Structure 1
Amino acid sequence: MSPAKSEKDLYDGLSKKDRQALSRELARIKREEERARRRRNRILFVTGSVVVAVAILAGVGFAVYNGIRATFVGPANMLSDGVLFTGDGSSVSATTTDALQPGEEPIASELDTSQVLRLTEYVDYASADVSTFETTNGAALQGYVSAGYASLELHPVALEGPGSYAARAANAFACVANGLPNAALVAHNALVAAQPTLPDGGLSNDELVKLMEDAGITDDGIASCIRGDEFSDWVTGATDRAKASIPNSDVTALSTVPLLVVDGTAYTGALDDTEALNTFITEVFTEKSAAAAGDGTTEDGATDGGTGTEGSTPAPSPAPAG
């Protein structure tokens, strides 16, 4: 096969008219080739841009998804929507649990009343009634726990809804429970003590951080959690769940705060009457103890034929006036 001819060789032997026609045809072919080249480059550019954009959007979407998902994960150590505190006779500690995951329902703590009183309290830190009740009775109830007579499960709620001071205060409590669970009772007491002097709109997030720091809770992660309202969605969900149902209680739903449930029975007496609360607790304890002893079964399952309460937890001493 002979070598390809140069463009000059193509014109040899042609008339002027034919050379002009050939020139036009070659120019047309070149224009078509250039247009085809530009189209290929444009397609490659658009395709590459789409791939890059999809990759970026996928990365952003994944980050956004993780961020949204994180806002729906509950605080660690509050799988029941509350923190359970127990005592060993001298100190109080929080029960550690996993965090509530998105789409999961809380797991209510088991109501085993055979050993200690089970105290469950729902609190809204913006409520003056909560402040009154806690100021009058809080130290005594926590004293029962420290002495080993009772356990206490605290459930923070925000009846005024998302964005309220109550919601931000409940979030602050959840942040402490999540990061330093054994300090959650300290956080609770600090939030209760702050209620009577709250400004309009309550404390800001920075002021809540300062409140925790003044109480000795100086963890940077907790401060960041409070400022970022990390568990605000959980607070909303926990409040809605409490309004719908109160586990292990003769109260069907939360309508007002504070709500104190003792071994499944809600206290309905005066919030500032320590004697009335002591009487209620003693009556509930006596009733539960009698019911437990009435089956005549000892701890090892044998029947002793008696109805005494030997071996059961003694009734807590009356609480001092607040």
Structure 2
Amino acid sequence: MVNSRMSTSGQARPPKKDRREEARETARLMRAEQAKRDTRRRLFLRGGIGIGLLAVVAIVALVIVNTVNAPAAAGPANMASDGILLGSEGTAVSAATSAALTADADPIATDQTALTDTANIVLYLDYLCPICGNFETTNGKQITDWVTAGNATVEIHPISILDRLSSGTKYATRAANAAACVADYDPNNFLAFNTAMFADQPTENSSGRTNAELASLAQEAGVTSSDVASCITDQTYAGWVDASTQRALAGPIPNSDIENVKGTPTVLVNGVSYNGSFTDAAAFEAFVTAQMTAAPGE
């Protein structure tokens, strides 16, 4: 005869009172977790969280990115991760600052664990890539609004994979170099410059913008540093663009569920790659919201 307090597997079952208490505790924990998810979703949708970007400065210094045999090249300031991290306290967009990497230094990945109340969007972009242009046209204002309100951070990695489609002018590299120059000398205007780069975007198999036009575009986007124009003309960071592009293509990509960049745009939200339409703003917004409300590990 089987004891009424033994399961068919022979393991002792708790008394009925204990089972009720266990069920209540389980239900309480489930309600608490759901409440946390609801809070994250409300915070994301209502605006004005604020990420304390000054504190993020210290964050960009923890996780080392493995390197490949790319040419040694010094990088721009404020791009220690090979990208520039932008956020807001709820009013104006600003950049997390970091020292320039020396030619033999490894890039340093952003530690996103301190950014738990924001959607952390990471973009790998080529300024000649038409699909990147489509993504920016569709989602750029939405992302800028999220970042400005303090609901999101965006980390932009300008890379160069389409030089072969610029009639010999290496526009993809020159454009990424221009972005690095802005990041170095006027980082708080980087997002505005990034937006301007995709407005009236040059087409593939064209020569793209000249260096003078890139410098003029930076000025129109609000960049005031006189050093940016000479940095663009001198192609100061062209070697770094090549090296950072090779790192992105070789991987690993930190804070993500992908091994390496296989094309542009590559879009990540809280470490999860976006594989939906690049021309559907509602689909991207739904994806971002889903990542904000997902429990860790989901």
Select the structure with the greater relative contact order (CA < 8 A; seq sep ≥ 6).
2
Aligned to 1:123: 125
Q: Structure 1 263/93 Cα, relative in aligned 2: closer, same or farther at 3 Å? A: same
What are the within-5 Å matches in structure 2 for residues 219-298 of structure 1? 219-245=225-251, 246-287=253-294, 290-291=295-296
Answer whether contact 1:165 1:201 (CA < 8 A) is retained: yes
TM-score, normalised on structure 2?
0.70
Please list the CA deviations of residues 176-203 of structure 1 after superposition, one character each: whole Å capped at 9, or x if unmatched.
1101111111211111113156882111
Cα separation, 1, equivalents of 2:296 and 2:192: 35
Counterpart AA for 1:91: A
Answer whether contact 1:86 1:152 (CA < 8 A) is retained: yes
Give 1:148's match in structure 2, choosing from 150, 158, 168. 150
Answer whether contact 1:131 1:196 (CA < 8 A) is retained: no
What are the within-5 Å matches in structure 2 for residues 89-168 of structure 1? 89-112=90-113, 113-161=115-163, 164-168=170-174
Aligned to 1:75: 76
Answer whether contact 1:161 1:236 (CA < 8 A) is retained: no
Cα separation, 2, equivalents of 1:122 and 1:176: 17
Q: Over aligned residue pairs, what C-alpha RMSD do you find?
A: 2.0
Aligned to 2:61: none
Cα separation, 2, equivalents of 1:196 and 1:208: 12
Answer whether contact 1:116 1:151 (CA < 8 A) is retained: yes
Q: Structure 1 216/89 Cα, relative in aligned 2: closer, same or farther at 3 Å? A: closer
Deviation at 1:161, TM superposition (A): 4.7
Deviation at 1:255, TM superposition (A): 1.1
Q: Structure 1 196/224 Cα, relative in aligned 2: closer, same or farther at 3 Å? A: closer
Considering only CA atoms, is the larger Rg found in Structure 1 or Structure 2? 1
Answer whether contact 1:83 1:94 (CA < 8 A) is retained: yes
Deviation at 1:72, TM superposition (A): 2.0
Cα separation, 2, equivalents of 1:284 and 1:140: 16
Cα separation, 1, equivalents of 2:205 and 2:249: 27
Please list the CA deviations of residues 198-231 of structure 1 after superposition, one character each: whole Å capped at 9, or x if unmatched.
8821111112112222223242211000000000
Identity %: 40
Cα separation, 2, equivalents of 1:186 and 1:207: 16
Answer whether contact 2:129 2:204 (CA < 8 A) is retained: no
Cα separation, 1, equivalents of 2:225 and 2:172: 22
Counterpart AA for 2:289: T
Question: Which ranges in structure 2 are unaligned for 5 or more consecutive residues?
Answer: 1-71
Deviation at 1:110, TM superposition (A): 0.4
Q: Secondary structure at the match of 2:201?
A: helix
Please list the CA deviations of residues 48-99 of structure 1 after superposition, one character each: whole Å capped at 9, or x if unmatched.
xxxxxxxxxxxxxxxxxxxxxxx92100000000100011112110010011
Counterpart AA for 1:256: G
What are the within-5 Å matches in structure 2 for residues 23-62 of structure 1? none
Answer whether contact 1:85 1:152 (CA < 8 A) is retained: yes
Stretch moving more, 201-210 or 167-176: 201-210
Answer whether contact 1:121 1:155 (CA < 8 A) is retained: yes
Cα separation, 2, equivalents of 1:215 and 1:111: 28
Counterpart AA for 2:184: N
Question: Which ranges in structure 1 are unaligned for 5 or more consecutive residues?
Answer: 1-70, 295-322
Answer whether contact 2:77 2:97 (CA < 8 A) is retained: yes
